[in-house]
Amino acid sequence: MKADGDAVDDLAATEDGIEYERVVISNPISGDGTHREQVRSLAIEHDYTVLETQGEGDAVEFARKAAESGASLVAAAGGDGTLHEVVLGLDEADALDSVTFGVVPAGTGNNFAGNIGVRSISHAFDVLDSGERRRIDLGTANGRPFVNSCVGGLTADASHKTDPEQKERLGVLAYVVNTLQLMTDYEGLPLSIEASDEGDVSWSGDAVFVLVGNGRRFPTKGRTQANMEDGLLDVTIVENVPAANLLQEATMQRLFGAETENVTHLQTPTLNIEIEGNSPVEFSLDGEMGEWDELTLDVRENALEIPVGEGYERYPEK
């Protein structure tokens, strides 16, 4: 099977689409940028075709064309943004019912891969070939799909301001460093949040973080895997209080898991977030940034078939 990065432009321009049964869409510069040859070599060994992205939006186009050409499995090799684009392309092709989505962890944090029990690039190809298939939920924000999380506030800002050089030097710690640097002068998000199972406004005020998880939750410690098959979103809201108070109350890890007066946890199938300020707010959908003044978040139950590793838990412990 072909794994020629130089042929990507020709493949993308082919009117008849991509004529391959199993495809890996690879972002060669994600993470520390050292995985390119390993992904290509393993793809050839396991009889996959590799399509390498060269810019933003390529993964969407490649996934859509692969699905429209009859591919049975399309995997994303990269970070959260690459995963997001591939799922978006499959959704645009209306192919989520017919195409299996796979994950090859080649980003910085690889949180979603860990949540589905995929430990490494080499392990990913074993899982693609012989892992158990599960149908998991897919989150949506104003109709746009996300597999792992939708995040607004300080965490989204920190993620957006973390450049590739920082990621290469610090890995996942780059996000933490930027979050702490921004905390001292962050003004917070004026929000009203309504959960479908509670009827009235569930929370209103100024928030530092709004963390909505489909594939992940935000625990004190240990695994972050959410229940991906329960039809519910895991929501964590951190109230805007002085940074010194938050840091004194708990470490960052404890803050996200412990029940405190500044943290609200919800589980709901539908969530409406209304921005009460005069300007739209940036939210991150699986690492991809967008601006909204109102978001409606829903769950498409069991929408995505995905191979999972042995570490995936149908009913993860809380």
Q: At 268, which CATH number? A: 2.60.200.40
**Could you tell me the two tokens for 301?**
């139950």
Q: Is residue 220 part of a domain?
A: yes
Q: Is residue 215 part of a domain?
A: yes
**Could you tell me the two tokens for 183?**
């905390």
Q: Is residue 107 part of a domain?
A: yes
Query: pTM for the complete prediction?
Result: 0.83
- Provide the residue range defining the domain that includes 16: 5-130
- Domain boundary residue among 86, 106, 130? 130
- Domain boundary residue among 130, 155, 171? 130
Q: Is residue 111 part of a domain?
A: yes
Q: Is residue 56 part of a domain?
A: yes
Strand runs labelled E in the chain = 22-26, 49-52, 73-78, 100-105, 132-141, 144-146, 149-153, 189-195, 201-213, 233-239, 263-268, 271-275, 281-285, 288-292, 294-308
Q: Are residues 93 and 168 in the same domain?
A: no
Q: Are residues 157 and 256 in the same domain?
A: yes
CATH number at residue 15: 3.40.50.10330
Q: What's the sign of the alpha-carbon dihedral 48, 123, 85, 81? A: negative
Measured distance CA(43)–CA(237) in Å, rounded: 41
| Continuous segment of H or E residues that includes residue 166 | helix 164-170
pLDDT tens per residue, range 171-196: 433 444 455 455 556 667 888 999 87
**Could you tell me the two tokens for 67?**
């699905």
Q: Are residues 126 and 150 in the same domain?
A: no
Q: Are residues 88 and 47 in the same domain?
A: yes
Q: Is residue 308 part of a domain?
A: no
Residue in 200, 193, 190, 156 with CA at minimum distance from that of residue 271: 193
- Looking at residue 155, its pLDDT comes to 58
- Domain boundary residue among 79, 101, 130? 130
What's the whole-number average pLDDT of the chain? 82
Residue 22 has pLDDT above 60, yes or no: yes
CB 214 within 8 A of CB 299: yes
Higher pLDDT, 119 or 169: 119
Total domains, the chain: 2
Residue 102 has pLDDT above 70, yes or no: yes
Q: Are residues 35 and 103 in the same domain?
A: yes
Measured distance CA(17)–CA(269) in Å, rounded: 36
Q: Are residues 23 and 94 in the same domain?
A: yes
- Looking at residue 143, its pLDDT comes to 95
Q: Are residues 294 and 169 in the same domain?
A: yes
- Looking at residue 217, its pLDDT comes to 87
| Segment of 159-163, 210-214, 308-312 carrying the highest mean pLDDT | 308-312
The DSSP letter of residue 213 is: E
